[in-house]
Amino acid sequence: MIRMQNVAKRYAQTGEVLSQLNLELDPGEFVFLTGASGAGKSTLLKLIALIETPSRGNIYLNGHNVTHAKRSQIAKIRSRMGLIFQDHRLLQDRNVFENVALPLRISGYSQREIPRRVRAALDKVGLLPKEKSNPIALSGGEQQRVGIARAIVHKPRLLLADEPTGNLDPTLSLEIFQLLAQFQQVGVTVLVASHDLNLIAQLDKRVIRLEHGHALTGLRGD
C-alpha cells in the first residue's frame, strides 16, 4: 500500500529531518508511528499525503511511484485518502452534517448521494443523533469523531491520522484508537502518528518508531 525507499526530507530552515527512511505498509495494516517531538512524524504523514515532497528517495502508493506526481494526479490520489488532525479543524459556523458533507460537496457528489453517505459516516462514529448540532456544542471527543466521520465519508482506502487524540483524556483517546481500528477491520489501511506510548501499548498493533531521521522496525520482517 505504502512504500518509502531511501526517503530524505530537508527543510531549508531546519535541515534534514528524515534521512534514508525506508518503510513498508501492507494493504489493510494498522500501524502506529511514534517518536519524540520533532522526530518527523507529521513530516512523514505529509510526505505520504503528498502535501510535502521528499528531498531524495521515492514514495510508492499502490505500486505507483508518486514522488513527482503532477498537481492533477495529486488531487486524484488524495481523494482516496482520509486525513485526521489533532485539532480536527471543524467549521464552527456549520453543523455536524455540513462539516461531514463538505468533502463530498467539494468532490461534486450528487445531492441525492450526499445525505446517505454523511449519515452512514456519522453512524459509524456514533454521532447520528447529533447531525444538527454545531461543533461548539459537542465535547472534545465528539468533535474528534466528527473529524473522523469527515475523513472517512468518501470511503478512503488509506487513513492518515496525526496525533488524533492530542487534546483528549486517556479514556476518550483509547475510544478514538479503537474506532480507528474498526476501519482496519473493513480493509482500510490506517497509519496513526502518536507519541502516547501508554495508549499505543493498549492496542496490539505494529509500531514504527522514528529516530534520528530513520524508521526503526519500518521494514517488513524486522
Ligand X SMILES: Nc1ncnc2c1ncn2[C@@H]1O[C@H](COP(=O)(O)OP(=O)(O)OP(=O)(O)O)[C@@H](O)[C@H]1O
Binding residues vs ligand X (CB under 6 A) = 11, 13-14, 17, 35, 37-43, 195
Residue 50: name its binding partner from Mg ion, ligand X, none (Cβ under 5 to 8 Å by kind): none
Helix H or strand E segment including 216: strand 214-216
Give me the least distance between CB of 162 and Mg ion, in Å please.
6
Residues 6+ apart with CB under 8 A from 129: none
Q: From ligand X, Mg ion, none, which one binds at residue 182 (CB under 5 to 8 Å depending on kind)?
A: none
Minimum distance from residue 43 beta carbon to ligand X (Å): 3
Report, in Å, the least distance between residue 38 CB and Mg ion.
Answer: 8
Q: Which of residues 24-43 bind Mg ion (CB under 5 A)?
A: 41-42
Answer yes or no: are the C-beta atoms of 206 and 178 closer than 8 Å.
no
Our CB check for Mg ion shows the closer of 148 and 161 to be 161
**Binder of residue 119, out of Mg ion, ligand X, none (CB less than 5 to 8 A by kind):** none
End-to-end CA distance of the chain: 18
Cβ atoms of 130 and 184 closer than 8 Å: no
Q: Is the dihedral of CA 28, 29, 35, 39 positive or negative?
A: negative
